[in-house]
Structure 1
Amino acid sequence: MKAFFQIDDSITFLNHGSFGSCPKPIFEEYIRFQIELESEPVSFIQIKQPKYLKAAKTALAKHIHCNERDFFFIPNPTVAINTVMRSLNLQPGDEILATNHEYGAMVRTWNFYCKKSGAKYIRQNITLPVQSKEQLLEEFWKGYTSKTKVIFLNHFSSATALIFPVKEICDKAKELGLITIIDGAHVPGHIDLNISELNPDYYTGTLHKWMLAPKGSTFLYVRKELQDSLDPLVVSWGYESLAPSDSQFLDYHEYQGTNDIAQYLCTPKVIEFLEENNWKEVSKNSKQIVLENYKRFCDLLGTQPICPVTDEFLGQMASVPVKTDRSAELKTLLYDKYKIQVPVMPLNDNIYIRYSINGYNSQEDLDKLYIALEEIIATTDLIKK
């Protein structure tokens, strides 16, 4: 599988989770669309692009199990959450219940919104190590009060690489009359995603991470009943359109004029690549490598797993606690001396080394990380035991 990718052979790349990596056949499709755009921009944008976009949305809708008219493409989940944030109309004192495992950009987005609106962003503590799904759910709902109006939750946490029980939380939130906003950045192509079954109010997921699409490809799904209340993040030609379609939702959000959207148009090729190369099996094998190595790294670093080492909580990446107060220095040393690209991530006064495994990785890659950490422990004071 490594031959499909353009990753520098001199680097042991264990950080697919941050930005993904696009295989050559998909990247070639990406360039093909850009060349077609430049060869006749007017014809492409006004005539061809809507047809290509419809094909892309039809393919993705089938893949994530929702209606093609209930989502639109955007560059990343941060844009998605900023779009949703603008239309919430919360009142001073209203609460947004989240966890203390959310992605940093999202925390900043909600902090900005709360300063403007007077709402409160509640980062409910989830104790580590997680012992069970039931414990996680019990702790999460301890943050619920009569002032809670919105649930915001990562489906797959970034720094701690944990799968959260989104289905159970969405179901209970519906019973309580709460709005549910799910950040599924790491989900598409990583674990099964059935939006119709989850039934969130808003769901955003990237294609450029685990689905292997070109960078800047994300979708925002919005439940039909809420679509007309979602204001556009950028007002453009679709607002008070001279040629309105039967969907104000898509008019407002889908057409922004001059914009290269080649990454979105690659979606049919992305799904074709995954199917032709049996990527479900590739993903399954990658997850097995993640599970088999997790305890080994904890033993080396003198720490404990942050969750049961099963596929209920872990996918193709895992975060291993490491005792260091110089996380940036450790990350730089791993890259500069050992040529290993792996994040060393702080969260809630803890530090984690998060390794990701995909089709281009092998056990040998994790062995290189293990040997490097052994040497760092033996020769420096960066890691405490």
Structure 2
Amino acid sequence: MSVPPPPESIPGARLLFTLDPSVSYLNHGAFGAVPLGVQRTQQRLRDEMEANPQRFFGQALTERLAHTRRHLAAFLGADPEGTALVGNTTTGVAVALQSLGLRPDDEVLGTDHGYGAVNYSVARECRRTGATARSLHLPLSATEAQLVEIVRAGLRPGRTRLLVVDQLTSATARVLPVAALVAVAREHGISVLVDAAHVPGMLPVQVDAIGADFWVGNLHKWGYAPRGTAVLVVAPRWRDRIEPLVVSWQQPSGFPGNVEWQATLDYTGWLSAPAGLYTLRSIGVERVRAHNAALAAYGQRVVGDALGVPPADLPDPGGPGVAMRIVPLPPGVAGTLEGAGALRARIADRLAAEVSVMAWNGRGWLRLCGQVYNTPDEYDRLATRLPALLAEG
């Protein structure tokens, strides 16, 4: 079966970014890439801050943060009164976990697709409170209905206090049916935390319609915001129980201000986030999404073909619009975290390509992203050179 043609490149898109042209940057999902216009917006705000710090950090700052919060919440379909700006998804997860009030008889249930740092955060909170953590295996090939039934069977009513699920998994690039999973958990009064780190900007979303107790997503990946920009969305019943990781002067105001205000934090990244969404809208939100998803699918096929992976063995992301795809590596290659990190570094050094290499369930996986600054020939070059690199052992 022949590889489908790649999408047409978006004219001028590469010029919006300041990436090194000698490197194929195929790992947008890791740290994102900030458009030049957004960089300049943030620098203007930094200049304003340094010109008069006292004035910048005055009362007007809280109003500017509220404006940014409303702008981002509207884009995500979330209630701005229940939305707080945070540094990243794992920060939002930590805020939610410590606000739950876990007890020794409680259980936090996750899946084996969960993000490593989130798993560490759950483990730490369980150690602190005496609660337990448990993980469910979700097969890559499972249908949405099968995923829902696996989770339904894994819940322990009366014991499971919190279900933690990814809306789009990082390691395996799989969309999970979070709205259906929230509904199943609701049947038993179990709270749900949705890790949506990769969703804002990549996938259309109406956060409030999902109905989760907590929803956390990054804007600095697919929303073109400066790094360190994310949102924590909290359901009404939890808002008066949310406690920040660090108490500061906005503590009396309650959520979301008590979470956002961290004294001398550099807020210019958050204030620049609307410029990132402006860039996305200027190119065309649906145009960007369609291009990136098609390009990631093309990259998966050409690299998969080069490694001898049949098309049927290339995991499907489980939904349209996903701009990340994974390719299984040969057995024995990068099957551990250490091995995955070492291979990623070799690919970067030897092939001038930035990719993500994951170890999931004892096997190595190559994750490729598609973004408007990428071109088909970058995936073609990787496909041509990668087999020889892997053959070296």
Structure-1-length-normalised TM-score: 0.92
1:364 and 2:377 are equivalent in the alignment: yes
| Mapped pair 1:319 → 2:330 | no
Q: What amino acid sits opposite 1:282 in the alignment?
A: V
1: CA distance between counterparts of 2:178 and 2:280?
A: 25
Spell out, residue by residue over 1:291-348, the C-alpha distance to the aligned partner (whole angstroms, 9 max, x if none): 2343443343244666763661771011111021443343222111110111111122
Question: 2:315–2:327: 8 Å Cα contact kept in structure 1?
Answer: no
Question: What residue ranges of structure 1 are gaps of 5+ in the alignment?
Answer: none
Q: What is the SS of the residue equivalent to 1:159?
A: coil
Read off the aligned partner of 2:131 and give its amino acid letter.
A
Give deviations 1:244-301, integer Å, cap 9, x for gaps: 5xxx223422322222111111122122211111132022111012223434433432
Task: Write the letter of the residue equivalent to 1:288.
Answer: A
Change beyond 3 A, Cα 1:315–1:50:
same
Aligned to 2:5: none
CA contact (8 A) 1:164 1:313 kept: no
Give the letter aligned to residue 334 of structure 1.
Answer: I
For the structure 1 residues 362 and 32, does the alpha-carbon distance in structure 2 shift closer, same or farther, using more than 3 Å as the test? same
- For 1:86, give the aligned amino acid: Q
Alpha carbons 1:163, 1:314 under 8 Å: kept: no
Q: Deviations over 1:182-228 (max 9, x none)?
A: 11100000101111111111111001000011110011111111111
Q: Match of 2:83? A: 71
1:1-385 correspondence runs (5 A): 1-128=13-140, 130-146=141-157, 147-239=159-251, 241=252, 244=253, 248-303=254-309, 309=316, 312=319, 315-323=322-330, 324-325=333-334, 326-377=339-390, 380-382=391-393
Paired residue total: 373
**Separation (CA, whole Å) in 2 of partners of 1:54 and 1:112:** 31
SS in 2 for 1:26: helix
Give the aligned residue type for 2:372.
G
Instruction: Please give the secondary structure, in 1, of the residue aligned with 2:274.
Output: helix
Residues 156/31 of structure 1: CA separation in 2 closer, same or farther (3 Å cut): same
Q: Give, as a single letter, the amino acid of the residue that structure 2 aligns with 1:179.
A: S
Q: State the alpha-carbon separation in 2 of the partners of residues 249 and 111 from structure 1.
A: 25
Runs (5+) with no aligned partner, structure 2: 1-12
Q: Secondary structure at the match of 1:188?
A: coil
Q: How far did 1:69 drift? A: 1.4
In 2, the alpha carbon distance for the partners of 1:296 and 1:142 equals 38
CA distance in 2, matches of 1:42, 1:294: 51
Counterpart secondary structure, 2:256: helix
Matches of 1:234 and 1:36 in 2, distance apart?
A: 26
State the identity as a percent. 27
CA RMSD of aligned residues (A): 1.8
Distance in 2 between residues matched to 1:307 and 1:22, nearest whole Å: 30
Q: Is the 8 A contact 1:94 1:119 kept in 2?
A: yes
Distance 1:29 1:62, change over 3 A: same
Which segment is superposed worse, 250-259 or 300-309? Answer: 300-309
Q: Which moved more, 1:228-237 or 1:132-141?
A: 132-141
3-state DSSP of counterpart to 2:168: coil
Contact 2:299 2:368 in 1 (8 A): no
Which whole-Å CA distance do the structure 2 matches of 1:328 and 1:88 have between them?
Answer: 34
- Shift in Å, 1:372: 1.4
Contact 1:163-1:313 within 8 A present in 2 as well:
no
Output the CA distance in 2 between the equivalents of 1:320 and 1:313: 18
2-side partners of 1:340 and 1:298: how far apart? 16
CA distance in 1, matches of 2:255, 2:299: 46
Q: Distance in 2 between matches of 1:274 and 1:341?
A: 23
1:100–1:123 Cα contact (<8 Å) kept: yes
Query: Is the Cα contact below 8 Å between 1:125 and 1:140 reproduced in 2?
Result: no
* Aligned partner of residue 97 in structure 1, secondary structure: strand
Do 2:244 and 2:259's aligned partners in 1 also have CA atoms closer than 8 Å? yes
C-alpha offsets along residues 37-71 of structure 1, whole Å, 9 cap, x if unaligned?
A: 11111111113322321221121121011221111
Q: Which amino acid aligns with 1:364?
A: D
Q: Supply the distance in 2 between the matched residues of 1:107 and 1:31 (Cα, whole angstroms).
A: 35
Structure 1 residues 33 and 310, CA gap change in structure 2 (3 angstroms): same
Distance change (3 Å), C-alpha of 1:311 and 1:285: farther
SS in 2 for 1:212: coil
Asked if structure 1 preserves the Cα contact closer than 8 Å seen for 2:226 and 2:273, the reply is no
Does the 8 Å CA contact 1:151/1:180 hold for their aligned counterparts? Answer: yes
Residue type of the alignment partner of 1:376: L
